[in-house]
């Protein structure tokens, strides 16, 4: 499984890029709004920091308007992937964008059948929202696992992104389910990195070393 960072914060993105572990970044309108910056210059800046795919979401609603907005976003940098909500208009826009060679990330997928529709429209990625499914009493990880199985069974080329990740268990579950990517917020990625036994181990090695060198 590869990692994306789910963030529009330049400091977080710069920091995580230096770790060398993420393949790209996903943003959404809520994350961008939190930054209080103009969208297009921010997107350009993120794309210059990140060599891999950077997902940026359209806010338009009709298919034609989505396509027009997607083309503007895609013109910002070669690594932009346009995020499209999983609606009928979103599918029509994706079909057109895919024919134009523009990469898409069909977002707000909550069921395996929605994910299959995304794939059939030509989406490059389909994002399944684990945390938001858990919030309503469903099992987000099961939806990811079933989607992965379906895509394998039908030899679908669309990549599965496990999204709406809230904790380390979600990341581990996405990995076990066979997701191609997990898009992980900075806090959760930091939690994935840390383990109390690692910290204790470092302290013990240091203490043993210092004792022997006295």
Active site residue 83: yes
The structure tokens 């987000």 sit at: 140
| CB-CB contact of 109 with 52 (8 Å) | no
Cβ distance to ligand E4P smaller for residue 187 or 204: 187
| Closest residue by Cα to residue 25 from 80, 98, 77, 90 | 80
Alpha carbon separation from 10 to 7, 17, 38, 192, 194 (Å, rounded): 8, 10, 13, 20, 22
Q: Shortest gap between Cβ of 204 and ligand E4P (angstroms)? A: 37
**Which range binds ligand E4P by CB under 6 A, 13-21, 69-77, 126-134, 142-150?**
126-134
Q: Roughly what angle, to the nearest 10 degrees, separates helices 186-193 and 168-177?
A: 80
The yes or no reply on residue 7 touching ligand E4P (CB under 6 A) is: no
Which residue in 13, 22, 26, 116 binds ligand E4P (CB under 6 A)? 26
Q: Shortest gap between Cβ of 10 and ligand E4P (angstroms)? A: 16
| CB-CB contact of 77 with 50 (8 Å) | no
Rg of the chain in Å (alpha carbons): 19
Q: What mask, x for binding ligand E4P by CB under 6 A, covers residues 68 to 107?
A: ---------------------------------------x
The structure tokens 């826009």 sit at: 93
The yes or no reply on residue 6 touching ligand E4P (CB under 6 A) is: yes
Q: Shortest gap between Cβ of 164 and ligand E4P (angstroms)? A: 3
| Closest residue by Cα to residue 170 from 155, 156, 152, 188 | 188
Binding site for ligand E4P (CB under 6 A): 6, 26, 28, 107, 127, 129, 131-132, 163-164, 183
Catalytic residues: 83
């Amino acid at each position: 499984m590869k990692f994306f960072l789910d963030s529009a914060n330049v400091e977080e993105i710069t920091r995580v890029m230096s770790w060398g572990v993420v393949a790209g970044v996903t943003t959404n309108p809520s994350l961008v709004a939190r930054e209080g910056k103009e969208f297009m210059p921010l997107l350009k800046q993120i794309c210059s920091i990140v060599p891999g795919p950077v997902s940026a979401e359209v806010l338009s609603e009709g298919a034609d308007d989505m396509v027009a907005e997607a083309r503007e976003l895609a013109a910002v940098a070669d690594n932009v992937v346009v995020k499209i909500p999983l609606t009928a208009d979103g599918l029509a826009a994706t079909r057109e964008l895919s024919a134009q060679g523009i990469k898409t990330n069909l977002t707000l997928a909550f069921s395996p059948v929605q994910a299959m529709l995304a794939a059939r429209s030509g989406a490059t990625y389909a994002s399944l929202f684990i945390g938001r499914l858990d919030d309503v009493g469903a099992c987000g990880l099961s939806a990811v696992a079933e989607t992965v199985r379906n895509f394998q069974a039908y030899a679908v080329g669309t990549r599965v992104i496990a999204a709406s990740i809230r904790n380390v268990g979600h990341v581990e579950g996405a990995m076990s389910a066979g997701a191609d990517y997990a898009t992980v917020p900075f806090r959760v990625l930091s939690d994935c990195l840390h383990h109390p036994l690692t910290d204790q181990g470092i302290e013990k090695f240091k203490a043993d070393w210092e004792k022997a060198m006295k």
